[in-house]
Amino acid sequence: MPILFFLISGCFIGCCIEEDLSDCPRPFQLYIRALDIDERDITESGDVQRVVLFVFDESGKLVERIERSGEEIAARTPVYIRYFGPKKLTFVAWANPNDRMWSQTNDVKSIADISFQLASEGGMAETAPDLLSGSLETEVEYGDVEETEGKTLDIRRRTAQVHVLIRGYERWLAGKTTAPDPATTGPVIGETPDTYKLVSDLMGKLVKYKLPGNVDSNGNFETPIVGIYPTAENKLLNLDLMVNGNKERTFSKGSDGKEFLPEVGRLLNIIIDLRANISVEVVVTPWNEVYQFVEY
């Protein structure tokens, strides 16, 4: 913060020693609590690796940017809050941005500047990190130097997960007339907006995700768990099987009609069987819990 702010703050603090406390803001402790999609407390789970906390005044201007480690969040270490001047404060917290996003948070000067955009090239976006966010508005109490009651800012997940298993993939691919180029061959899923603004506003250009993965000894292709942004207005995902840049097959629902709809805070499992009669199974499971496919 500018040196002038500290000088002014020092003056106010000195004034708080006098009998007139009308210009003295009451300090308080701010706690950051993480909740999963089912509103269960996951603060101590280790899922929160780091947090950037923005503090804004009533005009939306940045007062301070504060960093907190995952260890501090898990230990429920509060942030001490006391600012002279603002009548109202708005706190916005974002957890787990990747290194590029984290660096860009240093450029935030007002609440309108908060933006978490996925990097992309050729319409293909990077994997989304496990982002959580939340906000809290509070009036500033003046007239005392004693701490007022502590406040809690809740952060919740903003991303979804996808896991894909394609049975018979290697054999299916071998049936193509042209040798596949790994750079332009494989499953692609989309589309979703690429940007979060403020706390939970999803917007930006539409992007897809090229799903990484490996072919096992049985010729099945399996991806790791991949983070994505949710779709806009609950639109469905399409999963395209690309071969040398050409779309060979597209899937958007299971054999039972269940649609490919990602859910924030949950894992969308898609199992495609390309052998004989093509079948598709769709199962939504809790965060990080891959559905265990059993073949009879």
Q: What is the pLDDT of residues 175-229, one digit of tens each?
A: 887 888 999 999 999 999 999 999 999 999 999 999 999 999 999 999 999 999 9
Listed in sequence order, the DSSP H helices in the chain are 3-15, 70-74, 99-104, 169-174
Q: Are residues 43 and 178 in the same domain?
A: no
Q: Is residue 280 part of a domain?
A: yes
Q: Are residues 11 and 135 in the same domain?
A: yes
Q: CATH code at 184?
A: 2.60.40
Pairing mode, strands 79-81 and 120-121: unpaired
Give the total number of structural domains in the chain.
2
Q: Are residues 266 and 216 in the same domain?
A: yes
Q: Is residue 103 part of a domain?
A: no
Residue 127 confidence (pLDDT): 98
Residue 203 confidence (pLDDT): 97
Q: Are residues 7 and 58 in the same domain?
A: yes
Q: Are residues 153 and 171 in the same domain?
A: no
Q: Is residue 188 part of a domain?
A: yes
Q: Are residues 8 and 43 in the same domain?
A: yes
Q: Are residues 16 and 138 in the same domain?
A: yes
Residue 147 confidence (pLDDT): 82
pLDDT tens track of the chain, all 296 residues? Answer: 443 333 334 444 445 655 667 778 889 999 999 999 999 999 999 999 999 999 999 999 999 999 999 999 999 999 999 888 899 999 999 999 999 999 999 999 999 999 999 999 999 999 999 999 999 999 988 877 778 889 999 999 999 999 999 999 999 999 887 888 999 999 999 999 999 999 999 999 999 999 999 999 999 999 999 999 999 998 999 999 999 999 999 999 999 999 999 999 999 999 999 998 899 999 999 999 999 876 65
Contact 61, 87 (CB under 8 A): no
Q: Are residues 217 and 78 in the same domain?
A: no
C-alpha separations of 9 from 4, 82, 88, 109 in Å: 8, 10, 17, 20
Q: Is residue 27 part of a domain?
A: yes
Q: Are residues 189 and 232 in the same domain?
A: yes
Q: Are residues 33 and 58 in the same domain?
A: yes
Residue 223 sits in which domain range?
Answer: 160-286
Residue 20 confidence (pLDDT): 67
Q: Are residues 48 and 170 in the same domain?
A: no
Residue 105 confidence (pLDDT): 98
User: E strands, 23-130, where?
Assistant: 28-35, 50-56, 62-69, 79-81, 88-95, 115-117, 120-121, 124-125
Residue 149 confidence (pLDDT): 87
What's the pTM value of the predicted model, to 2 decimals?
0.90
